Amino acid sequence: MALVTVEAGICGMYTTIKATADQPYGMVTLEITSDCPHIQKMAAELTEVRSTGEISYRGEGPRTLRAAAKHLPHAACVVPPAIIKAIEVAAGLALPKDPVIHISKEG
């Protein structure tokens, strides 16, 4: 099981992602809760995914990113990649490690 919490940034929205794999490299059940109504709509489509289908752009690409394109108005939202990271960890395809993005405006 992987648990990911996301503070999305300037929007102030919080999302929690719980990913549970039935077996290594298999199907992953997702429980996504969010303050964001757009993420809530996306989450309704992503209750279960195949882990190996989510980690590659081959074929149709990740369902997570297709759902994001359908429901999210902001392409820079960090929640879809966080969902994919949760899937990877839950399925044993990656070790848990926090990605970090530092943003500043200089000049």
Those residues whose C-beta lies under 8 Å from the C-beta of residue 33, and which sit 6 or more positions away, are 15, 16, 43
Encode pLDDT of 27-76 as tens digits: 999 999 999 999 999 999 999 999 999 999 999 999 999 999 999 999 99
Encode pLDDT of 65-86 as tens digits: 999 999 999 999 999 999 999 9
Q: Which two tokens stand for residue 24?
A: 């290594």
Asked whether 94 and 85 are in contact (CB, 8 A), the reply is yes
Asked whether 51 and 25 are in contact (CB, 8 A), the reply is yes
- Domains of the chain, first to last: 2-90 (3.90.1010)
Q: Which two tokens stand for residue 41?
A: 């709509």
Cα angle value 4/5/7 (rounded, 5°): 145
Q: Where is pLDDT greater, at 9 or 66?
A: 66
Q: Which two tokens stand for residue 4?
A: 């990911």
Q: Which two tokens stand for residue 100?
A: 């970090």
